[in-house]
Structure 1
């Protein structure tokens, strides 16, 4: 004897579609978690990897890899960009970027000098002067921070004094502001105990860690279970009341 009433076709279809969708979303979140953990492992390995020839990766850097490179050239000492309120900032401050001209190259390389803590207000921290003359730099060749929706358009074009401040670092905007093309990634300098800058760089995708993806996966799987349970509850046969007995 069946314990369930005969369900309507649309109820079966709706429950099946919802359950499959929730399961698919849960599996997708688990895959995203695995991908980010793999990227983090590659990032950690890159920090101690042998130095690669910059020319080999400059124009077409490997996908989902962060080569460690060494370059020689000089800073454009009068051009500095400040990324306001980066994600790892807890006290107020800016991430400082400066264009770097490689010898014999027409393009510029944007260098991430590091994070300069502020005082928790809107005041710009005091920037140390950039060193002039030829320099040799070493670090990770990383994608620029993610670009979001910036209300008001290109903030750099509206500023006439240096350093210039932005809430999103758009390499296309920086290139247009400088009037010179840039390499497709930025050079994130190695840590230096003598530097005033804090250099604890992490990939931009860590804003959504793998643990959160797994939590979302658990949530979607829970929705799938709830959909099935609700279907069973709504279609179970009810025992007849004593008053209904002949």
Structure 2
């Protein structure tokens, strides 16, 4: 009977938890489906010509855009811990001056890490005015153990996440945007393009949900079987004497 009580208490805790986690994974799957649907719809749309940062605030995530201006070759960021095919590197995030003078941040893609972490990659300057195409991207604010400490005197600066408010403030930009522009894969100025709308596909979230529901069923079956045997032993003392 004591064993049954332990199983029952365990079931009361774990079954609701497993069911909650299962439905949470189903919700994540639906969320990822919506993101992918919007991404696939928007990638077929005509790029919106950007002349000022005010246009960007009203545009959707992954909206194709085109813009003209010049890169800031002296001040740029290297987004750390970007891994492609098992190789560690950086995403190159560069300020870009529109013809209006407004600043936007451009993700030029991935470059490999040097032989040591103290040897940062060399980015060749682009001095001429250029025309670019890309997609708007709003980064997620993932939890980090330590915030980046940025300065306006040492460049390039290695960062751990895209805290856009902090980056624009360091650049002394009067406008702070919640999106960067990821250059198109076929752009002359793109290094290695690796933009993915989602890191985990909806099908994987659904598979995780099935696993959680299966665990809930397993615990429930354990509780039922244990309860059945406890009931038999309680009402048939001959079983306990054998």
Asked if Structure 1 and Structure 2 have the same fold, meaning a TM-score greater than 0.5 normalized by the shorter chain, the answer is yes
Distance 1:52 1:33, change over 3 A: same
Contact 2:95 2:104 (8 Å CA) reproduced = yes
| Aligned residue in 2 for 1:224 | 216
RMSD over aligned Cα atoms: 3.0
Please tell me whether the aligned partners of residues 73 and 100 of structure 1 are also in contact (alpha carbons under 8 angstroms): yes
Match of 1:81 in 2: 77
Deviates more, 1:118-127 or 1:92-101: 118-127
Distance verdict in 2 for CA 1:126–1:231, change over 3 Å? same
Match of 1:61 in 2: 59
2:210 is paired with a residue whose SS is: helix
- Deviation string 1:212-235 (CA, Å, 9 cap, x unpaired) is 422321222022202321221221
Q: Give aligned pairs, total.
A: 228
- Alpha-carbon shift at residue 182 of structure 1 (Å): 3.1
Which of 133, 156, 178 is the aligned partner of 2:150? 156
Contact 2:89 2:112 in 1 (8 A): yes
Q: Note the alpha carbon deviations across 1:69-124, whole angstroms, 9 max, x for none.
A: 1112222221111111214362222110111122225x411000111123564232
**What is the TM-score when the length of structure 2 is the normalising length?**
0.79
Say if 1:34 and 1:70 are closer, same or farther in 2 by CA, change over 3 A. same
* Distance in 2 of aligned mates of 1:162 and 1:200: 24
What is residue 213 of structure 1 aligned with on the other side?
A: 205
Deviation string 1:180-239 (CA, Å, 9 cap, x unpaired) is 133221011112374461113113x41x44344223212220222023212212211326
Task: State yes or no: 1:138 paired with 2:113.
Answer: no
Q: Which runs of 5+ in 1 are unaligned?
A: 1-6
Residues 1:83 and 1:89: Cα distance change in structure 2 (over 3 Å): farther
* Equivalent position SS for 1:197: coil
Measured in 1, the distance between the counterparts of 2:240 and 2:139 equals: 74
Kept in 1: contact 2:109–2:191 (CA 8 A): yes
Residue 178 (str. 1) matches residue 176 (str. 2): no
Q: TM-score, normalised by structure 1?
A: 0.78
**Mapped pair 1:238 → 2:238:** no
SS, match of residue 106 in structure 2: strand
Matched, 1:39 2:35: yes
Point out where structure 2 has 5 or more consecutive residues left out of the alignment: none
Match of 2:67 in 1: 71
